């Protein structure tokens, strides 16, 4: 009896494994006779840490591109492919043979790399074809309109004084502001915003304030802005440590995305909670220092590049939305 029960369990286990394997390898969607499997969707989702639905959209787009490449008979011969590989190798200070050896050391087969590169070159040619019939030249008047309508984009600051609130968990930081908001609703003031305002007043009135704002002033210390622990209460009544500090951020040293974000805020406003190397952080702007404005002549090339990129993305997106509406897409099972 024991032996029969054991065999039944083992047999049932392998049936389940087989069924799960079949499900993973199963076709999810067919696009113009090209299948997309559930395995492909989950692999892409995990590789780029995106939702499965978003991964499916990416794969559908790839199949539509492949279909268009076939219809237009876009070919990349070995001569063009080899030229491109030579250029990539040279850019990495290698010859082709050393470049291939480096690929193998990274676990990438030469054939697989050449195939991927060939597909990219075909896709680039497809995009060139799409853009050639839709692209509109951007004249100087359009550049000037953009410049005048986006003044903050061309306003630069040498540095920012901020209150940085950070922790390992984004929810812990959010809880600080959630609790403060509840206090506001009860007729109390947002302590963090008040402290930021106090620092601004201290900086403006303290005649002994030095140029090196990375040193915490006596006033800032009295305002309790020097790094300390805040307690953020979570739903299960446990506590996590969140730290805050008063720091100066130099535009030349920091991530341009963060600098652009800080530039767009008013004094007293804070950034969203964003990832950092050590976890998550939000920044309350205390002051924006040494303002300068980039002239239109200096900004023209950057504006042209940005508007061209936006126009190209829009043209290609609209093209594939039209193609997708006409394509044969059969949904068999969603991931």
Q: With the CA atoms of 281, 286, 291 and 294 taken in that order, what torsion angle do they form, in degrees rounded to the nearest 10?
A: 30
DSSP label of 7: H
| Residue 36 maps to a domain | no
| Residue 148 maps to a domain | no
Collect all residues with Cβ–Cβ distance below 8 Å to 93 and sequence separation of at least 6: none
| Residue 46 maps to a domain | no
Contact 127, 316 (CB under 8 A): yes
- For the chain, the domain total comes to 2
Question: Is 128 in the same domain as 157?
Answer: no
Q: From the CB of residue 132, how many other CB atoms can be counted at a distance below 10 Å?
A: 8
- Give pLDDT, residue 256: 87
| Residue 51 maps to a domain | no
Name the residue among 253, 290, 283 with its Cα closest to residue 268. 283
Question: Is 89 in the same domain as 172?
Answer: no
Question: Is 123 in the same domain as 168?
Answer: no
Question: Is 181 in the same domain as 213?
Answer: yes
Name the residue among 264, 291, 262 with its Cα closest to residue 164. 262
Q: What is the pLDDT along the chain (335 residues), one digit of tens a residue?
A: 444 444 444 344 444 444 444 455 688 899 988 899 999 999 999 988 899 999 999 999 999 999 999 999 999 999 999 999 999 999 999 999 999 999 999 999 999 999 999 999 999 999 999 998 888 889 999 999 999 999 888 989 999 999 999 998 888 888 887 655 554 554 444 445 554 555 445 444 443 443 444 443 443 443 343 334 443 333 433 335 788 899 999 998 888 889 989 998 999 999 999 988 888 999 999 999 999 999 999 999 999 999 999 999 999 999 999 999 999 999 898 87
pTM of the full structure: 0.58
Question: Is 288 in the same domain as 158?
Answer: yes
Contact 242, 236 (CB under 8 A): no
Contact 165, 192 (CB under 8 A): yes
| Residue 30 maps to a domain | no
Using CA atoms, how far residue 331 sits from 24, 38, 66, 334, 335, in Å, is: 15, 11, 19, 7, 10
| Residue 2 maps to a domain | no
| Residue 41 maps to a domain | no
| Residue 23 maps to a domain | no
Question: Is 163 in the same domain as 270?
Answer: yes
Which residue range is the domain that position 125 belongs to?
74-133
Instruction: State the CATH number of the domain containing residue 95.
Output: 1.10.4030.10
Question: Is 289 in the same domain as 184?
Answer: yes
- Give pLDDT, residue 37: 92
CA–CA distance, 151 with 121 (Å, rounded to integer): 38
Q: From the CB of residue 298, how many other CB atoms can be counted at a distance below 10 Å?
A: 10
Question: Is 159 in the same domain as 195?
Answer: yes
Q: From the CB of residue 22, how many other CB atoms can be counted at a distance below 10 Å?
A: 9
- Give pLDDT, residue 179: 56
């Amino acid at each position: 009896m024991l032996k029969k029960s054991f065999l039944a369990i083992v047999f049932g286990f392998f049936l389940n494994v087989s069924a799960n394997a079949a499900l993973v390898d199963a076709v999810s969607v067919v696009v113009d006779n090209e299948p997309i499997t559930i395995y492909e969707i989950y692999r892409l989702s995990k590789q780029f840490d995106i939702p499965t639905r978003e991964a499916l959209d990416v794969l559908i787009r790839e199949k539509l591109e492949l279909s268009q490449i076939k219809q237009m008979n876009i070919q990349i011969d070995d001569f063009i492919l080899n030229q491109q590989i030579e250029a990539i190798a040279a850019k990495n200070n290698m010859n082709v043979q050393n470049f291939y050896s480096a690929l193998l050391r990274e676990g990438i087969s030469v054939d697989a790399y050449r195939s991927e590169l060939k597909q990219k070159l075909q896709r680039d040619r497809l995009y060139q074809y799409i853009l050639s019939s839709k692209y509109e030249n951007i004249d100087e008047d359009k550049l000037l309109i953009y410049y005048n309508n986006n003044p903050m984009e061309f306003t630069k600051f040498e540095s920012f004084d901020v209150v940085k609130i950070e922790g390992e968990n984004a929810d812990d930081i959010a809880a600080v502001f959630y609790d403060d908001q509840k206090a506001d609703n009860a007729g109390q003031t947002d302590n963090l915003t008040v402290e930021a305002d106090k620092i601004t007043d201290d900086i403006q009135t303290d005649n002994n304030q030095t140029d090196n704002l990375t040193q915490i002033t006596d006033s800032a210390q009295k305002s309790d802005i020097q790094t300390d622990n805040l307690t953020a209460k979570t739903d299960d009544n446990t506590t996590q440590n969140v730290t805050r500090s008063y720091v100066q951020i130099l535009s030349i040293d920091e991530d341009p995305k963060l600098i652009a974000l800080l530039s767009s805020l008013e004094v007293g406003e804070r950034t969203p909670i964003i990832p950092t190397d050590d976890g998550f952080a939000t920044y309350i702007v205390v002051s924006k220092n040494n303002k300068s404005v980039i002239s239109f002549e200096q900004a023209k090339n950057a504006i042209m590049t940005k508007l061209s990129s936006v126009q190209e993305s829009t043209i290609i997106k609209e093209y594939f939305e039209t193609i997708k509406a006409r394509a044969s897409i059969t949904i068999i099972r969603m991931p």
